[in-house]
Structure 1
Amino acid sequence: MRSQALQTSAQAAVPDRATVIPATGSASGDNGFRIRAILSLPATWWQRSRFRTELRADLRDKPELLHDIGIGLHEAHAEASRFFWEAVLLQRR
């Protein structure tokens, strides 16, 4: 009886593997999405940087083109002054 009590308490002290893995997050199934998001981050930042560089060039060379596609000068200046890690907020009207 004593050995049976020890086995029961030992089994209770060691949690089941299925209960441990979800707590660590490795069985949640979204790690692949996180890894892809992290790996694609430099490309996203590069695209935002290029977009804002081209927007500054358009502001300097042809501001009437921006007005024609529905982007105000104030909005274009605000977007062009943002950092590359900040999301693009500029939307055509």
Structure 2
Amino acid sequence: MSRRYYSLATLRSIVAAWDERKRFRWELEQMSKDNPHLIDDIGLTRRQVEAEIAKPFWRR
């Protein structure tokens, strides 16, 4: 079994991406609750929004 080794800069980049996804999904969830009409404006369906919100932060 091979192991992957990451530099500190790479790890910081990964954590930053996770944080960005978490924040985006939280904001999307708030938008869908507070202003559901805006979801239509950005071209997403309710089902797409629910699928995106349900993803764990480490998944794209």
Identity between Structure 1 and Structure 2 (%): 35
User: What is the number of equivalent residue pairs in this alignment?
Assistant: 55
Q: CA deviation at 1:68?
A: 1.2
Q: Structure 2 CA distance, aligned partners of 1:39 and 1:80?
A: 23
Normalising by the residue count of structure 1, what TM-score does the alignment of the two structures yield? Answer: 0.54
* Structure 2 residue runs without a partner (length 5+): none
Normalising by the residue count of structure 2, what TM-score does the alignment of the two structures yield? Answer: 0.80
Higher relative contact order, chain-length normalized (CA < 8 Å, sep 6+): 2
Deviations 1:4-54 (A, max 9, x none): xxxxxxxxxxxxxxxxxxxxxxxxxxx8xx523323111111000000000
CA RMSD of aligned residues (A): 1.5
* Structure 1 residue runs without a partner (length 5+): 1-30, 88-93
Letter aligned with residue 56 of structure 2 = F
- 1:27 matched to which residue of 2? none
Instruction: List 4+ stretches of structure 1 deviating above 2 A.
Output: 34-39
Larger Rg: 1
Equivalent residue for 1:63, pick from 15, 36, 39: 36
